Amino acid sequence: MKNKLILFWAIVLIVIASIVTICVKPTKLGLDLVGGSRLVLEAQTTNTIAQITPDMMSSLQFAIENRVNKLGVSETVVQRSGDRRLVIEIPDVSDLNQAKAYLGETAELDFRKPVMKDGLQEWEATGLTGKDLSRANLSTNSQNGQWVVDLEFNGEGTKKFADLTKQLVGQPMAIFFNGELQSAPVIREAITGGRAQISGGDSGFVYEEAKKMVDLLNAGALPVPAKIIEENTVGPTLGADSIAKSKVAGAIGLGFVMLFMAVYYRAPGLIADIALVIYGLMLFALFKAIPITLTLAGIAGFILSIGMAVDANILIFERTKEELRAGRTLFTAINSGFDRAFTSIFDSNMTTIITCIILYFCGTSIVKGFALTLAVGVIVSMFSAITITKNFMHLIFGTGKLQHPALFGLRANEINESYQASETKREKAKFGILD
């Protein structure tokens, strides 16, 4: 009895800890609930890049992180996924189309020199590129007030640029951005200060254009071209609607399951209901503590696990009822109910966990959310159904004062023999029922 009381207080502590966690910790909600975009970017191989290396992916991730941060939205996530993919999560951006175009854009700045080929002037790469920059700035031309992009080279770049301009005195030097000619000023003298300026040619830059170029240059060029291969965007209205509906569905589901248990199994059913509420609290607290991001499919997994969580209790109570019908004493019946049902509970939950593990490793992100919540739910439910229910049953029926058959939903004439809480030896609870 003493051990049982200790366990009881341990359960009370767990409940308090769960409630505190639920109140203190924020719930991490998935983008499908709060609204936002999830993009999958895949690095593309080209003629020159035959294989995507982990190094390339790291610098791609770095460049993309920089760009995503420039969007000015909080709580963005950029994660590696597999060998050549990045998952980008952006909560609620006002113009996603623009953001998308911006993310995948290569920012190749390169300086070219003129060559004559078949009487035509062409531009040839010089090896001086955006990689040689230390930073880019937006400013205005003091003479005509047009927007320009100021470039500052790093040490290596300054030297290269000085050499190049020395070589090209009296000739034009072209600045290409993403393969497009931006301007081709004529070099009057060698520039050794490590600074240059891009004007937008004769018409000049529009503000947005110049700003974008500066951002892209500062964020760094993508080391490999990348394409968006998957997109999932949910507007905030639909997300809020989903949350509200899931709450209603969860409450109704839980309510009816509890009602069913109480009506069908009576006293043990009520105990199972309490265990179920504790289960819900523990699971929710666990989601917040780990934290597991709740998605719509995840919530479905959570609510589904409520239905499945009572399964263990149903198995146990059915068994207990059978034992009572066969004439076992109350205490023996409860104990053997738990002992006998355990293998069934364990085996059957194992298969659910196996499928969840497989889903988790093979599935896409939505599927992963579902698998994870269901698996955690199943594991916690085994604890709640076995430990918590058993403890409460022992504390309540162990006194021997409550023993009316109606408490178990049985009629008095269904009981074969004695119906007393006299047998307390656990070993004796292990006898078969039909022997």
Partner 1 sequence: MKLNIVKYRFLFLAISAILLLPGIVAMIYSTITYPTHTPMKVGIDYTGGTTLQYGVKETISNDKLSDVRKTLENGGIENPYLQIININAQDGKDLKAILSIRTKFIAEGSSDQDKITNIMNKEFSSPELVQVASVGPTLGMELFKNSLIALSLALLGIVAYLTFRFQFDYALAAILGLVHDALFVCGVFSILGLLYDVQIDALFVSALLTVIGFSVHDTIVVFDRVRENLKYYSKKMTFSEIMNASINQTLARSINTSLTTLITLFALYLFGGVTTKDFVLAMIIGIAVGTYSSIFFCATLVDIWEDKKVSAKAAAV
For partner 1, the binding residues in 135-154 under the rule CB under 8 A are none
Q: Nearest approach, Cβ of 116 to partner 1 (angstroms)?
A: 35
The answer to the question of residue 283 lying near partner 1 (CB under 8 A) is: no
Count interface residues toward partner 1 (CB under 8 A): 77
Q: Nearest approach, Cβ of 257 to partner 1 (angstroms)?
A: 5
What is the C-alpha separation between 157 and 152, in angstroms, rounded?
Answer: 9
CA distances, 60 to each of 44, 64, 71 (Å): 11, 6, 17
The answer to the question of residue 208 lying near partner 1 (CB under 8 A) is: no
Q: Nearest approach, Cβ of 49 to partner 1 (angstroms)?
A: 18
- Per-residue binding string, partner 1, 285-324, x by CB under 8 A, is -----------xx-xx--xx-xxx-xx--xx--x---x--
Residue located via tokens 């009370």: 12
- Per-residue binding string, partner 1, 46-85, x by CB under 8 A, is ----------------------------------------
Choose, by CB under 8 A, the member of 374, 382, 385, 393 that binds partner 1.
374
What is the C-alpha separation between 145 and 150, in angstroms, rounded?
Answer: 14
The answer to the question of residue 356 lying near partner 1 (CB under 8 A) is: yes
Nearer to partner 1, 10 or 252 (CB): 252
What is 400-430 written as a DSSP string? SS---GGGGT--GGG--S---TT---SGGGG
The answer to the question of residue 352 lying near partner 1 (CB under 8 A) is: yes
The answer to the question of residue 227 lying near partner 1 (CB under 8 A) is: yes
Choose, by CB under 8 A, the member of 182, 199, 329, 349 that binds partner 1.
349
Element (H, E) at 174: strand 174-177
Q: Nearest approach, Cβ of 154 to partner 1 (angstroms)?
A: 31
Distance separating the N- and C-terminal Cα atoms of the chain: 30
Nearer to partner 1, 115 or 362 (CB): 362
The distance between the two most distant Cα atoms of the chain, rounded to a whole number of Å, is 114
Residue 211, number of CB atoms within 10 A of its CB: 14
What is the C-alpha separation between 425 and 245, in angstroms, rounded?
Answer: 49
CA distances, 189 to each of 127, 143, 167, 171, 337 (Å): 20, 20, 9, 10, 95
